Chain A
Amino acid sequence: MNGEGIVRRKGARQAVLRALLFTVLGLFCLVYLMPLVVMISTSLKSLAEIRTGSFIALPREVTFDAWAKAWNSACVGVRCNGLAPYMWNSVAMVVPAVVISTFLGAVNGYALTKWRFRGADTIFALMLFGAFIPFQVVLLPMARTLGYFGLAGSTYGLILVHTVYGLAFTTLFFRNFFVSVSDGIVQAAKIDGAGFFAIFFKLMLPMAVPTIVVTVIWQFTQIWNDFLFGIAFTVGDSNPATVALNNIVASSTGVKEYNVDMAAAIIAGLPTLLVYVLAGNYFVRGLAAGAVKG
């Protein structure tokens, strides 16, 4: 942290600069917040008010009808059960995929750094590349593989896909953490007779709690927000929330219910938004680690 900001010195000119600074920052805040504000305020309006008022105006009369409808009776294609079942699909997909990929990433990162064997770096480099491929290149063979195993169109299929393609990132996160842990600790434990897993569970995992949090948050956000795999590998009832949301917004039954669309969008975004607000620092650390600072 800088002791003093660079633009902070005494004098009238500095006061003006300071005011300018806050104005610019404030304006940017407005721009960044606008879509969210529009979504929230529109979701609380009635359709009649949306038609007559401007998009940026706050609701004159707050109603939660649109939220109720978005949750349990909005139409996704021809099914009118709202977003709720698809939210559960997403939960059923996200939880196992996050747990499995985080755990495997931790074991991997640990094995690759603390038990450095010949070829460990090569293996890591080869795995890491998987984090950067455009998923389009695996879309077709994945569709066939899921079909072959009878997992096409199911939540299990998506869990597999997200675990496999999340591994590169989770391994990266843990590798970067374990690299910074002194080898001496592991050596000492080995001399004491502790084995591979004993060291991992008793020594390494407790140290890695912050990294675990970062990884879990990263994976959760990535998988919850995924759209491409969801739309390519699931149909109808097994759609995750993002795909269902896109269908709600795209389909209509005569009247375009903007308030319901917006409420559905907020509901679908709420889990990741909550995680972000509650654990923002870990989220940011994940983003920074995602930039592959080795």
Chain B
Amino acid sequence: MTALRARVVAGNPPSAVQLKGPGIQEWAEQGALADVDDVAKAENWDAVLPPVLAAIMKYENKYVAAPVNIHRVDWIWANPAVLAKVGVTTMPTTWDEFNAIADKLKEAGITPLANGSDPWQDLTLWDVVALGVGGAEFYQKAIVQLDPAALTSDTMVKVFDQMRKMRGYVDEGFAGRSWDLATRMVMNGEAAFQIMGDWAKGEFAAAGKVPGTDYWCAPAPDQGGYILNSDSFVFFKVSGEDKVKGQKVLASLVMSPSFQETFNLAKGSIPARTDVALDKFDSCAVKSHEDLLASIGNNTLVPSLSQEMAIPRSYRGEFLDLVTQFYNTDMSSADAVKALAAGIERARAQ
């Protein structure tokens, strides 16, 4: 980020950079981006990308970025062998069910939830809880549109209440733990669940684990919603025929079905294009794809707060600080809601 800023300021930007979410808009507003709209028009990107995602890739209605994948954030990963120890044979579909199972696990001396120490991991958990407790409409209003009424609603208090419960389900050794080590805990049976985006699947796959038998994947209780995360290449204004041509070739390549298939098979995500056949993908990916299409239809697809897809970094930073502070202290839900609203106002003053 720093180096990128320095290069742009110095008038020597790289051709294409991996950037995402509102970060794309920030650079576009600085007039630093080039559009690849002719490629997008010719290949009809509008028809194959989820509209929520397409909007993020565009600035002033022109494509300035090309997405390589779609990660679902609201996943819950589980170790079936561990769940069997307390007689659980299905994944929870509501937060009440989740809490009941977690309490049972805790009584049996098993860590219910694996989580690490990075603030963004706390926020990922909160992201999923917010959608699950509040639903997609609430998520849109409170988090994407930053509506003051939604931010201070009773629903928001409930979101924090559930988040407080989550803190009680993790073990003590989380200091300095990264997300993949948390995944490893589920794999090894040291914890029952992890709530994390489907990049966690890459860890299971790398260890040779098979979905359905060695581990379970299921959408976290989310009221039929879907939290979207996507990596994308952003194109900067460069001088020179060659470089401009190169950008277009890259844009076309990134969006080609074969690239999207190969890339995403390795990464745990699914193609950003909704029209790529998923024959080679596993059951979790197929489920992700089905739910994606359904959520587009129901208008319940939301961009991820934690993965920097929803709002600019200055606002996200307020969520990040507040949530991680709440999660790691004994702040009350009511105080958290008040502090969050104040933080958003502060960010607005920028």
List the interface of chain A (C-beta within 8 A of B). 143-144, 146-150, 152-153, 232-235, 250-256
- Docked-complex contact B3 and A153, CB < 8 angstroms: yes
Chain B residues within an 8 Å CB radius of A232: 2
| Closest residue on chain B to residue A250 by CB atoms | B178
CB distance from A139 to the nearest CB of B (A): 9
- Complex CA gap A147/B14 in Å reads 13
Chain B residues within an 8 Å CB radius of A251: 178
- Docked-complex contact A152 and B3, CB < 8 angstroms: yes
CB distance from A20 to the nearest CB of B (A): 37
| Closest residue on chain A to residue B12 by CB atoms | A150
> In the complex where A150-B12, A152-B10 touch, is A254 in contact with B180 (Cβ < 8 A)?
yes
- Docked-complex contact B180 and A252, CB < 8 angstroms: yes
- Contact of A235 (CB < 8 Å), options: B3, B9, B177, B184: B3
Interface string of B2-41 (1 = CB under 8 A from A): 1101110110100000000000000000000000000000
- Contact of A147 (CB < 8 Å), options: B7, B183, B184: B7
- Complex CA gap A237/B115 in Å reads 30
- Docked-complex contact B180 and A153, CB < 8 angstroms: no
CB distance from A282 to the nearest CB of B (A): 35
25 contacts between A and B (CB under 8 A): A143-B5, A143-B6, A144-B6, A146-B6, A147-B5, A147-B7, A147-B10, A148-B10, A150-B12, A152-B3, A152-B10, A153-B3, A153-B6, A153-B7, A232-B2, A233-B2, A235-B3, A251-B178, A252-B178, A252-B180, A253-B180, A254-B203, A254-B206, A254-B207, A255-B181
Chain B residues within an 8 Å CB radius of A149: 10
Chain A residues within an 8 Å CB radius of B3: 152-153, 234-235
CB distance from A127 to the nearest CB of B (A): 27
- Contact of B2 (CB < 8 Å), options: A143, A253, A254: A143
Chain A residues within an 8 Å CB radius of B184: 254-255
Chain A residues within an 8 Å CB radius of B178: 250-252
- Complex CA gap A148/B7 in Å reads 8
Chain A residues within an 8 Å CB radius of B181: 252, 254-256
| Closest residue on chain B to residue A148 by CB atoms | B10
Rank and list the top 10 A-B pairs by shortest CB-CB distance, nearest first: A147-B6, A152-B6, A153-B3, A147-B10, A235-B3, A147-B9, A152-B3, A252-B178, A256-B181, A148-B10
CB distance from B210 to the nearest CB of A (A): 17
- Complex CA gap A153/B203 in Å reads 31
Chain A residues within an 8 Å CB radius of B207: 254
Chain A residues within an 8 Å CB radius of B5: 143, 147
Interface residues of B in 156-210 (CB under 8 A from A): 177-178, 180-181, 183-184, 203, 206-207
Chain B residues within an 8 Å CB radius of A255: 181, 184
| Closest residue on chain B to residue A251 by CB atoms | B178
Q: A143-B6, A254-B184 are in contact. List 12 more A-B contacts (CB 8 A).
A: A143-B2, A144-B9, A146-B6, A147-B6, A152-B7, A152-B10, A153-B6, A232-B2, A254-B180, A254-B181, A255-B181, A256-B177
Which of A144, A147, A149 has the most B CB atoms < 10 Å from its CB?
A147
CB distance from A118 to the nearest CB of B (A): 40
- Complex CA gap A207/B133 in Å reads 76
Chain A residues within an 8 Å CB radius of B177: 256
CB distance from B191 to the nearest CB of A (A): 15
- Complex CA gap A96/B183 in Å reads 44
CB distance from B104 to the nearest CB of A (A): 28
- Complex CA gap A256/B207 in Å reads 14
CB distance from B230 to the nearest CB of A (A): 19
- Complex CA gap A232/B10 in Å reads 17
- Complex CA gap A232/B203 in Å reads 30
Interface residues of B in 188-236 (CB under 8 A from A): 203, 206-207
- Complex CA gap A17/B180 in Å reads 54
CB distance from B117 to the nearest CB of A (A): 11
CB distance from A47 to the nearest CB of B (A): 13
CB distance from A105 to the nearest CB of B (A): 28
- Docked-complex contact A150 and B10, CB < 8 angstroms: yes
- Complex CA gap A256/B184 in Å reads 10
CB distance from B7 to the nearest CB of A (A): 6
| Closest residue on chain A to residue B178 by CB atoms | A252
